Amino acid sequence: MLVRIGSRGSRLALVQAEIAAAALRAAGHQIAIVPMTTAGDRDRKSPFGQIGERGVFVKEIEEALLEGRIDVAVHSAKDMTSTDTEGLVVGAYLERDDPRDALIGADAIVPGMRIGTASVRRRAQLLAFDASISVEPLRGNVDTRLRKAKERGLDALVLSSAGLDRLGLGGEIGLRIPPAIMLPEAAQGVVALQVRAGETEIVAHADDSETRRRVEAERACVAAVGGGCLAPVGAHHDGSVLTGLVAAEDGSWVERLTGGDPTALGLQLLAALESHAA
């Protein structure tokens, strides 16, 4: 069976598409990779708030899947909305890679640093860790961000450990930031294979059950909060404990809670967020 895989066209996205392709070839499928461009790829300068919330890197690929132009969509799971798009399901989560955020250019976070990131979640936690840090907006693919950080003379930047590892750039990481300091994005480090509802058999053999257990808990927690790319929200399941986080964008307050029920935990976080807003 020929399976058409839709993917963003960045170097990292295509590496992830090849990882997915290898898993599907193992089941005897023939693979055609179809690179696509999303709203988040077309506009690499504007803040996410000007081009949309969570989902700016997946919408066009999901539309192609719904329209039958591709058979499987490959996403960084952290880029997906926290609830499934109608008519689509995640048929497989590949085994999780390192979910931690990575500091590039330095081996420690110290006072007064200039650090680049486009993530409000990372920004909030950096400022909560030390308010003297200057957090500067930095967008683009991995190679672009590395180049811009050097051109602007930044002390460091924060990226995903998993993405750097997949690109063979793990040696550039100065510090894999512990979740106790910077709680990851929900589903960070995971490649998701999305299919049309009723067609999970195409990818089901590639699903890692333990990764699914953790990621579904993280996504449910964030869904209950209502978090997106614009909200400083994080969730991470380490195998035994689910931790969720909401924060002020300026790091002036951070609520970090743990719980067994993802939805209940998310609602607790939402209540904390509303309390601070009031």
Per-residue pLDDT of 229-251, as tens digits, reads 467 999 999 999 999 999 999 99
Q: Mean pLDDT across the stretch 92-96?
A: 98
Asked if residue 247 belongs to a domain, the reply is no
Asked if residue 52 belongs to a domain, the reply is no
Quote the domain boundaries for residue 136: 101-176
Asked if residue 149 belongs to a domain, the reply is yes
Per DSSP, the three-state class of 166 is: helix
**Nearest-angstrom CA–CA distance, 232 and 244:** 11
Residue closest to 72 by CA, chosen among 30, 113, 108, 102? 30
Q: How confident is the model at residue 51 (pLDDT cuts 50, 70, 90)?
A: very low
Asked if residue 191 belongs to a domain, the reply is no
**Has 79 been annotated as catalytic?**
yes
Residue 100: pLDDT over 80: yes
Q: What pLDDT score does 153 carry? A: 95
Q: Which residues pair with 255 in a beta bridge?
A: 246
Predicted confidence (pLDDT) per residue in 52-72, tens digit: 455 677 989 999 999 999 999
**Nearest-angstrom CA–CA distance, 278 and 271:** 10
The alpha carbon of 163 is separated from its chain's Cα centroid by a whole number of angstroms, namely 10
**Nearest-angstrom CA–CA distance, 44 and 57:** 11
Give phi and psi for 70, each to the nearest 5: -135, 165
Q: Mean pLDDT across the stretch 78-89?
A: 92
Predicted confidence (pLDDT) per residue in 250-260, tens digit: 999 999 999 99
Q: What pLDDT score does 38 carry? A: 75
Asked if residue 136 belongs to a domain, the reply is yes
Predicted confidence (pLDDT) per residue in 158-174, tens digit: 999 999 999 999 999 99
Among the listed residues 43, 71, 79, 208, the single catalytic one is 79
What's the N-to-C CA distance of the chain in angstroms?
56
Q: Mean pLDDT across the stretch 128-139?
A: 95
For the chain, the average pLDDT equals: 92
Assess contact for 193 and 90: CB atoms under 8 A: yes
Residue 97: pLDDT over 90: yes
Assess contact for 23 and 49: CB atoms under 8 A: no
Q: How confident is the model at residue 227 (pLDDT cuts 50, 70, 90)?
A: low
Asked if residue 197 belongs to a domain, the reply is no
Domain count, the chain: 1
Residues in Cβ contact with 3 at an 8 Å cutoff, skipping those fewer than 6 apart: 24, 29, 30, 31, 32, 71, 72, 202
Asked if residue 109 belongs to a domain, the reply is yes
CATH number, residue 123: 3.40.190.10
Q: Give the CA distances from residue 13 to residues 127, 136, 160, 265, 275, in Å, rounded to whole numbers and listed in that order.
A: 30, 25, 13, 32, 39
Q: What pLDDT score does 105 carry? A: 96
Asked if residue 194 belongs to a domain, the reply is no
